[in-house]
Chain A
Amino acid sequence: GAVVSQHPSWVICKSGTSVKIECRSLDFQATTMFWYRQFPKQSLMLMATSNEGSKATYEQGVEKDKFLINHASLTLSTLTVTSAHPEDSSFYICSASYAGGYYNEQFFGPGTRLTVL
């Protein structure tokens, strides 16, 4: 149980284009979803927290107009990187938790590798 999927697993795009990444909880209702980014050989950095049906809360230094997060249902959250640039190239990982879960455990997706040319 508690499986989270991400799509696509990797994407290559040209500078200036927008890219959408989907995060789905497959066997549970995710009341809260989180988006992280990870640079090579570094740890995960939280970008934003989203609750179903409400606006995402962004961490300091994360541009909300650049990284658009939508959590329209209890099983789907999307991250759209708008006007992507090479410095946005990274590994993006989502996670999800559910109300009443054991100490708010988060279950992670497999990640999406974004390369901006």
Chain B
Amino acid sequence: TQLLEQSPQFLSIQEGENLTVYCNSSSVFSSLQWYRQEPGEGPVLLVTVVTGGEVKKLKRLTFQFGDARKDSSLHITAAQPGDTGLYLCAGHSNSGYALNFGKGTSLLVTP
């Protein structure tokens, strides 16, 4: 199993602040996905990154895939209460369809 380590595990910030969530592994991934999950619901796909060094933007969210395809980051600018949730990174190995999930970062944005 290819392990993904996410940090921080918990993050509580005020509205308007910026934050970065990290997803690291010692393994290479063919692709890496970021999800956001709200309590009692399934994860919702935010982005898939596939190329080393790739940067993708989704409104106030910026996703980066490391050059070696072993790590990724999610940066949120001017966080809003609606950004509150569990952020999960997950990677596909080269060998299969199964996703390996990180443990998640629980984000709380207070007004």
Q: Contact residues of A with B, CB < 8 Å?
A: 4, 6, 32, 34, 41-46, 49, 91, 93, 95, 97, 102-111, 113
Contact = CB atoms under 8 A, between A and B. Distances in A.
Interface in B30-52: 30-31, 33, 35, 40-45, 48, 50
Contacts of A113: 40
B50 to A, nearest CB: 6
Contacts of B75: none
Contacts of A46: 98-99, 101
Contact of B42 (A41, A102, A109): A109
What DSSP secondary structure best describes chain A's contact surface? Answer: strand
Contacts of A111: 40-42
B45 A107 contact: yes
A6 B43 CA distance: 13
A78 to B, nearest CB: 17
B106 A106 contact: no
B48 A44 contact: no
A44 B97 contact: no
Contacts of B103: 42-43
B107 interface: no
Contacts of B33: 105-106
Given A103-B50, A103-B92, A105-B33, A41 B106 contact: yes
Nearest to B99: A106
A34 B43 contact: no
Given A107-B45, A110-B41, A43 B102 contact: yes
A44 B88 contact: yes
A44 B43 contact: yes
